[in-house]
């Protein structure tokens, strides 16, 4: 039998910048991400409606910035605004709108799309950029804690379909990510808090010292101390990038180690019609899986108590009626289906050390839900 075989690798590299006042004309961070050796490049700016609502001068600031730096950036005279939150991913209409704009504005593969918004908007815009011309250069400007420390610095893009999160999507690394802390000042309390969940997550499965830092800083985080939040975001982003570089960046296997607490979180979001934020769902998912880890004989009770106490001190709601939905267990199957291969779920052996398991006892999940509800109602852990 004759056959041909080809093997090749493609190096990817991108930077995550941390700045303030990105569109101040004296700030050249954005210019560092644009290759203008062949002259000024077309840049299409796409905005999250929520960002525009809270930063009403942003579009004017960007127009002034572009005019000032006309040797690097070509003024298109057009921008796109799409709704923020999960609705930007629930309706394929917005992806079509973006692809249509790429065509109408004659944007090519040497042009840039700059997405400014929360994680959901970045996901949708990233997907449109990835499939237009088989890939247009994408610059992400995350504007929430969650997107600055987690989703925005990763390599995934996608939209929802068939009532499943991120069913349609791509792995496509951005050209660059730019975190501007000015966007964080106008966040609602829920969005500020929501992003902290991903910090707790990486601390729980990877970094005990980081978990201790969050414990010690809980009051400051609750009071919106920006210096502490900057450290949390930087460390989360650092650990996220280390994970991407360490092996299975495009998730060819059946494991997704950074998704501790996510199998139930994704399903809970869908069950509630995305009434709760992703980070809020992750906090509940982590609490559920921490209790399960304890019931399963892995995590000891004092450490479980520390985890729950931290979430309470950060003012996360510790229960949602959606956890009692009979559909919750379907999240395990959907989690496995999304990755392929065997079911792989991250649990805890101790704070700072996760362990992957391939079987989950459904009855133990239901018991964990009941215990979490009792804890929420009585502030007492009765194991």
| Residue 330, H or E segment | helix 330-339
Burial class (CB within 10 angstroms; exposed 0-12, middle 13-18, buried 19+) of 105: middle
Q: Is pLDDT of 337 > 80? A: yes
| Predicted structure pTM score | 0.93
Phi, psi of 298 (to 5 degrees): -105, -55
pLDDT given for residue 2 in this prediction = 92
- Is the CB of residue 172 less than 8 Å from the CB of residue 113? no
Residue 163 to residue 277: CA distance in whole angstroms: 16
243 pLDDT band (50/70/90 cuts)? confident
Nearest-angstrom CA–CA distance, 200 and 352: 10
User: Which pLDDT belongs to residue 339?
Assistant: 78
Architecture of the domain made up of 189-378: Up-down Bundle (1.20)
Quick one: fold of 15-186? Rossmann fold (3.40.50)
How does pLDDT run across 149-158, given as a tens digit for each residue?
Answer: 998 998 999 9
Q: Where are the chain's structural domains?
A: 15-186, 189-378
* Distant-in-sequence, close-in-space partners of 170: CB < 8 Å, separation ≥ 6: 126, 127, 130, 131, 156, 157, 158
Q: Are 217 and 300 in contact (CB under 8 A)?
A: no
Burial zone of 341 (CB within 10 Å; 0-12 exposed, 13-18 middle, 19+ buried): exposed
The tens digit of pLDDT for each residue in 246-302 reads 766 766 654 566 789 999 999 999 999 999 999 999 999 999 999 999 999 999 999
Report pLDDT digits (tens) over 182-241.
999 999 999 999 999 999 999 999 999 999 999 999 999 999 999 999 999 999 999 988
Mean pLDDT over the full length of the chain: 93
The two most distant CA atoms of the chain are separated, in Å, by: 69
DSSP-assigned letters across all residues of 209-244: HHHHHHHHTHHHHHTT-HHHHHHHHHHHHHHHHHHH
Query: Which H or E run includes 282?
Result: helix 278-295
């Amino acid at each position: 039998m004759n056959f041909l075989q080809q093997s090749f690798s493609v190096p990817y590299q991108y930077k995550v910048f941390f700045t303030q006042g990105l569109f101040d004309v004296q700030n050249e961070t954005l210019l560092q991400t644009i290759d203008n050796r062949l002259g000024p490049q077309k840049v299409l700016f796409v905005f999250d409606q929520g960002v525009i609502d809270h930063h009403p001068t942003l579009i004017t600031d960007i127009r002034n910035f572009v005019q000032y730096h006309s040797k690097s950036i070509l003024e298109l005279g057009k921008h796109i605004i799409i709704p923020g939150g999960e609705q930007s991913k629930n309706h394929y209409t917005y992806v079509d709108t973006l692809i249509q704009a790429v065509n109408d504005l004659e944007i090519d593969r040497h042009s840039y799309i700059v997405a400014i918004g929360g994680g959901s908007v970045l996901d949708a815009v990233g997907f449109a950029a990835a499939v237009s011309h088989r890939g247009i250069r994408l610059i992400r400007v995350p504007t929430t804690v969650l997107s600055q420390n987690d989703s925005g610095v990763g390599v995934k893009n996608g939209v929802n379909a068939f009532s499943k999160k991120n069913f349609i999507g791509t792995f496509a690394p951005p050209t660059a990510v730019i975190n501007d802390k000015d966007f964080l000042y106008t966040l609602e309390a829920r969005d500020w808090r929501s992003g902290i969940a991903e910090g707790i997550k990486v601390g729980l499965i990877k970094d005990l010292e980081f978990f201790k830092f969050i414990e010690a800083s809980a009051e400051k985080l609750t009071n919106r101390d920006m210096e502490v939040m900057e450290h949390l975001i930087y460390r989360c982003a650092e650990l996220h990038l280390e994970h991407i570089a360490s092996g299975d960046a495009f998730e060819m296997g059946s494991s997704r180690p950074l998704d501790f607490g996510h199998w139930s979180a994704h399903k809970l979001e869908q069950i509630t019609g995305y009434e709760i934020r992703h980070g809020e769902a992750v906090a509940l998912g982590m609490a559920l899986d921490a209790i399960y880890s304890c019931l399963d004989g892995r995590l000891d009770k004092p450490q479980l108590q520390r985890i729950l106490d931290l979430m309470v001190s950060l003012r996360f709601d510790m229960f949602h009626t959606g956890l009692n939905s009979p559909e919750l267990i379907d999240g395990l199957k959907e989690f496995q289906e999304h990755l392929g291969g065997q079911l792989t779920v991250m649990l805890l052996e101790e704070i700072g050390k996760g362990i992957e398991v391939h079987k989950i006892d459904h009855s133990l999940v239901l018991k964990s839900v009941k215990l979490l509800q009792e804890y929420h109602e009585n502030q007492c852990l009765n194991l």
